Structure 1
Amino acid sequence: MASDHVKGSGGRRAFLPMVMSYAASGGSLVVSSAAQLLTFAILARFLGVHEFSLFVAITAVANIAVHVCGLGAMECLVRRVARDRAIYPDMLGHNIILTAITGTLLVLLGVVVLPYYFTLSPDPATNIAVIALLLITNIVFVRVIVLSEQIFLAHSDFGRANMVVVGFAVARTIAAALCCLVFGVSSIVSWSIWQFACHVLVALGCWAAIRQLGRPHYRLVREELPLGFYFSIPCILRALRQNADLLVLSLVTSAEIMASYSVARRMLESSYLSVEALNRLVYPGSAKISSAGLQHAMPRIRMVLFAAVPISIATALTVFVLAPVLPYLFGKDYVSLVSFVRILCWVVVPLAIWSVAVEALGASGNQGARAAVMGLGSVAGAAVAAAATWYAPPIGTFVSFYVIETATVVVAWGTLWHIVRRDQLREASREGGGVLPPAVAIAPAFRNE
């Protein structure tokens, strides 16, 4: 957000820049989402059902692995650099080291395991090479490109952060259009080369753009290792949770329902970008304000919540109204697509509400609490989604979504208020020179000091 604090006339003067910043951030994510959707549609039409299903499956594995790559070091960079830009060289080196180590290990593991499950080419050597290329592209290079966006966010340079998001999405769409529409590529083997080349060019452009911010100091910031780990774990578990319903649904329903549901899920993820645009703006400022205790950021957090709810409702309503257009993009074979999108689109509202609390926990350094909320929620959510999908597909799948997200709202905000109250009592104890009250001393210590 353009301002770290809103108060009095200064808050009124800062309102327009804040709106403009959100419009730019939200616009960039919407353009990015539209470009991704177009890329998705082009590949779906030209690769064919079999090839496209293989590509989606391997990409799903990469989407889980990319959260492991770097072990949450990007969040540490945004939080620490937003508070003190002098630490940027150390945090950049910290990120590069962890990304290189974990990225290499993940690619090697994938090259060993995935050829037993996916056959992209009848030639074993080519099959391994294509899988390796897809993993390098969708894990390592995606992580590098996203890191550059986060670096700009940490420096409150939202304009260039938006350029990275839009440029990356548009570059992939151009690559897919050239590959399929111009050169008539219809195999995942050929597409993997085009995709790799696209990501290399974007990554080189991103790193050229951030060079002026300073050179890295190659060392591990040891105190951030556990916090980064706490941050990455819930993201990994949530990625696993997002695939539980897809896996079970593929076993108990028709291919049409499975395909339509997959697209509806993609639309839900795109809808969340309207809220993510807000969260990505306020995160650096929230990190500054909450450095002395989460209670100091509560006025800001309430303001974010009051903005996130109407934004999510407006987004859901827009998707609901525009849903009938989707079959023209993906094809008339997606018979259930419109109804599925209209059922799922409202999930973005509870998702927006709990995301505000979770982002506040992360920005304040309470990564243990954040990991507990999202990690336990993802594990329980995966079990609920799988069971509901198995016994009552696809209605049970939709019901499980609302149950899981609503429960997460209660847990996330309950945890947030618990930590705020604890921090208030600790601050009062320090100011009074007294001993911490017993009720606070024995309270569960989620926060990582």
Structure 2
Amino acid sequence: MASEGVKERAHKPFLSMIISYAASGGSLVIGSAAQLLTFAILARFLGVHEFSVFVAITAVANIAVHLCGLGAMECLVRRVARDRGMYPQMLGHNIILTSISGVLLVLLGAAVLPFFFTLSPDPAANVAVITLMLVTNIIFVRVIVLAEQIFLAHSNFASANKVVVGFALARTIAAALACIAFGVATVASWAVWQFVCHVIVALGCWRAVKGLGRPTYGIVREELPLGLYFSIPFILRAVRQNADLLVLSLVASAEVMSSYSVARRMLESSYLSVEALNRLIYPGSAKATAAGLHHAFERVRKVLFAATSISIAAAVAVFVLAPVLPYLFGKDYVSLVSFVRILCWVVVPLAMWSVAMEALGASGHHPARALVMGLGSVLGAALTAWATWYAPPTGTFISFYVIETAMVIVSWAVFLRFVRRDREQAGAASLSTGVVHGG
């Protein structure tokens, strides 16, 4: 009887993890499906020219949003996961950095982007619309994601999942109402709908987290460099992710460009199944690595196996379902199915190296993580741009596989190096303590 009780208790954490992952993965899949539907609605109703401008400005905002907050959200998850008492201080730290950096980024974008994009013939209206889009896609997106991260830091995965699903569904509903019900056909008109949608979701999120405690305003100085180390790789990665789109727009037809951008969106969506695992594992990894990365080695090895299996399943699913996409986006996307089927397998090496980088982040080894991801993004952007220019779009696809495979090798080499270092330091400290006590 006793042994049966022990087995039952041993199975409970595993069962709880499976249930949590199913909920986390399900929320991200639902959110991804909603985003894809939103993308399709806007692509159909805005038209080629308006939609291309919308995607371009959104791409700029996607780069800026990683800089907004200076990486403070990761610090919140890591510190609060280890010590709940740090929440008020880390929340205040986030609010200050998000507000200051967000305003500066919006002002910079509002000053520069009107020279490249025209959303209205009236110069003042053009600046106003672009500013509205930047506020929406930088500041309000950051506030909504912050609410999700707050719940993750408290291991409240159910509420975090509700934020993800609610945000995605709200955008889909807004796009359907704007384009289908009210006939919105310009980016300038959609910008207003998008802004209102984000304000409503942000207010709902802020109300949801109020009960967790009030912020204590102040800068946690030791977290500033770690936050920058964490955010810079994502900024560089965002630049790399847009290098192919920029060059392809110069050397390929509109159909190839459009089909490729949708294929890229499908790749990002398929990675969400792995991201669901990483976001679930991160708080626990932060606790497990508090005394050294080597304490979580077995945990990370199991996560690698799980992430690889999940990514293969996701790639197979995308490959099989690819022929359905033209019915959603339209028959004009002639190359869409072949592009998606070529690109879908990139998610496997992407998942493999992300596990190592997430483990380094959870353990606080942000400089090494930033170096690997930063150099990978810089060199990757250069290789992708050159390959795309030299042989579009074949060179683009080849560059993806070369870059992601190289990232797997380098990421795990660095991870294993830090595991050995932490293990050696722990052994030396243990030996030193034994000598002192023996003496």
CA distance in 2, matches of 1:308, 1:248: 32
Paired position in structure 2 for 1:225: 224
* Secondary structure of residue in 1 paired with 2:219: coil
- Cα deviation for residue 393 of structure 1 reads 1.1
Q: How does 1:37-436 map to 2 (within 5 A)?
A: 37-433=36-432
- Distance (Å, rounded) in 2 between the aligned partners of 1:296 and 1:262: 41
CA deviation string 1:284-316 (max 9, x = no partner)? 000001000000011110111111111100000
Give structure 2 stretches of 5+ with no counterpart: 1-5, 434-439
Counterpart Cα distance in 1 of 2:310 and 2:114: 44
Q: C-alpha offsets along residues 119-178 of structure 1, whole Å, 9 cap, x if unaligned?
A: 100001100100010000000000000000000000000000000000000000000000
Shift of 1:354: 0.3
Mapped partners of 2:181, 2:54: distance in 1: 20
Q: Distance in 1 between matches of 2:381 and 2:270?
A: 21
1:50-96 Cα shifts (integer Å, max 9, x gaps): 11111110000000000000000000000000000000000000000
Q: Distance in 1 between matches of 2:33 and 2:343?
A: 18
Q: Letter of the aligned partner of 1:22 in structure 2?
A: Y
CA shift for structure 1 position 8:
7.4
Q: Distance in 2 between matches of 1:251 and 1:10?
A: 60
Q: 1:398 to 1:426 in 2, by over 3 A?
A: same
Equivalent residue number for residue 445 of structure 1: none
Give the aligned residue type for 1:314: A
Q: Distance in 1 between matches of 2:148 and 2:7?
A: 32
Percent identity, aligned pairs only, is 75
Report the CA distance between 1:13 and its aligned residue: 2.4
Residue 10 (structure 1) shift: 4.4
For 2:268, the aligned partner's letter is E
* Distance in 2 of aligned mates of 1:175 and 1:11: 46
- Give the 4+ runs in structure 1 shifted more than 6 A: none
**CA distance in structure 2 between the aligned counterparts of 1:13 and 1:215, rounded to whole angstroms:** 34
TM-superposed CA distance for 1:248, in Å, is 1.1
1:270 CA drift (Å): 0.2
Q: Using the alignment, how far apart are the partners of 1:53 and 1:323 within structure 2?
A: 23
Kindly provide the CA deviation profile for residues 229-258 of structure 1, in whole angstroms up to 9, marking residues without a partner as x: 000000000000001111111111111111
Partner letter of residue 13 of structure 1?
Answer: K
SS for the counterpart of 2:119 is coil
CA positional deviation for 1:28: 0.2
What is the CA–CA distance in structure 2 between the aligned matches of 1:249 and 1:134, rounded to whole Å?
25
Residue type of the partner of 1:167? G
Matched residue type, 1:75: E
Q: CA deviation at 1:267?
A: 0.2
* SS at 2:185 equivalent: coil
Q: CA deviation at 1:333?
A: 0.4
Structure 1: stretches of 5+ with no match in the other structure: 1-6, 435-449
Count of equivalent residues: 429
State the shift of 1:12 in Å.
Answer: 2.3
CA RMSD, 1 decimal: 1.2
CA shift, 1:11, in A, is 3.9
Residues 3-18 of structure 1 correspond to what in structure 2 (within 5 A)? 10-18=9-17
Q: Report the CA distance between 1:391 and its aligned residue.
A: 1.1
- 1:9 is displaced (CA, Å) by 6.3
* Partner SS state of residue 289, structure 2: helix
Per-residue deviation, 1:387 = 1.1
| Structure 2 residue matching 1:433: 3-state secondary structure | helix
Deviates more, 1:296-305 or 1:146-155: 296-305
Q: Distance in 2 between matches of 1:396 and 1:58?
A: 26
Distance 2:385 2:105 in 1: 27
Give, in angstroms, the shift of residue 16 of structure 1: 1.3
